[in-house]
Structure 1
């Protein structure tokens, strides 16, 4: 087994609604699980709360479209003016980063969404940004539209939620993480769950390679190996 365990090179698991750790955001997750055409959902919260994870999870099939600035605004405008609308779900991430053209395209898209909401051409709009609708740095007519339907604030996970998620991730791989290992990770490592999940996966493989039990010294060895290999690659 090679050193392809380097954390910076190990991709996190693909985003899905199933591997999103809801914590106090269960109501928002339930709404996303049961989205339907003609509805709009706006998610907001600080970086790292899982906004992009959720939007990418929803847009993972051929009937959905995912957009994030600085993508070309014309893509949104083409969707807004297509007849019939080409997607059942349109997910737009980081709305606060839309430039003037992007905001104009989103305005047109919202009007089209409202126009066909109750028809067979209806589609769902799922949007995300870093602050509440009326606080967004957007044109006024867009700020009000963000609040037209369902709005959810996503709260960061507590350390208890992260600890449970880490242990569950390990359990799914047939591992058991000690309280010492979990506490060290939560204190010294990344806080977003995609990176934490990738760490558990890497730790599992590293323990098999080294034929050692998962302990705090083994975890530190893995991180040190990752750092030295990354530095060597940069030379």
Structure 2
């Protein structure tokens, strides 16, 4: 669904309010407190598999954001008061040196570093001194949403848009669309626009039509 991912992402920016917590209520509460500077720790690491919401929360933090998967050397990244680094497990040698220096700079200046990775720092293939720094702060694991939680979230998002989405329609989306919440939420946005443009209600034929259209590569 290349076109969907590129052109029909949710029209609201990632925020703590539009994050679907599922079983991650404790993690979300801890992160919210830390972002409000009510906890003294200099760093906070979110651990979880792809699709668990790591990137959403890093972007929602309001910190300057960098994705080490796209910028493994952290080129041009500066440490001011705050910094969010996604996919720290993808840092190359130069990026690890840079993040080590940035961590020390932020901590010395009373700043804060928010990171995310697929595994806890102690299990990452990084420099020992960087693993130690990242492991010295708060570490919370994000659990992926269950299918039932995803379905409930889609139903709630549809209701917010006054979009009539039956359980059968949600089940169809869950079986035929990518399973991450970012894409599923994008589909709710796309459905809302599509039904308004064509003055049609949501039916299984309409869903098949929309998914087929969005799966067609752009010319």
TM-score in terms of structure 1 length: 0.82
Alignment of 1:128-207 (within 5 A): 128-207=116-195
1:20 partnered with 2:19: yes
Residue 15 (structure 1) shift: 1.2
Q: Which 5+ residue runs of structure 1 have no aligned equivalent?
A: 1-5, 80-85, 117-121
- 1:154-187 deviation per Cα after TM superposition (whole angstroms, max 9, x unaligned): 1110011101100010011012211101111112
CA contact (8 A) 1:38 1:113 kept: no
Partners of 2:67 and 2:194 lie apart in 1 by 35
What residue is the counterpart of 1:45 in the other structure? Answer: 48
SS, match of residue 73 in structure 1: coil
Residue 74 (structure 1) shift: 4.9
Question: Of 83, 93, 96, which aligns to 1:90?
Answer: 83
SS, match of residue 53 in structure 1: helix
Q: Which 5+ residue runs of structure 2 have no aligned equivalent?
A: none
Partners of 1:126 and 1:224 lie apart in 2 by 38
- 1:30-67 deviation per Cα after TM superposition (whole angstroms, max 9, x unaligned): 122222285311011111111111111113xxxx3212
Q: CA RMSD in A?
A: 1.9
Question: Which moved further from structure 2: 43-52 or 11-20?
Answer: 11-20
- 1:168-223 deviation per Cα after TM superposition (whole angstroms, max 9, x unaligned): 10011012211101111112211111111110111122122222221212111211
Residue 100 (structure 1) shift: 1.1
Q: Could you say which structure has the larger radius of gyration?
A: 1
Partners of 1:74 and 1:166 lie apart in 2 by 38
TM-score in terms of structure 2 length: 0.87
What residue is the counterpart of 2:61 in the other structure? Answer: 58
**CA gap 1:7/1:66 in 2 versus in 1, 3 angstroms:** closer
CA contact (8 A) 2:164 2:201 kept: no
- Once superposed, which parts of structure 1, at least 4 consecutive aligned residues long, lie more than 4 Å away? none
Partners of 2:14 and 2:57 lie apart in 1 by 7
SS, match of residue 92 in structure 1: strand
CA contact (8 A) 1:41 1:151 kept: yes
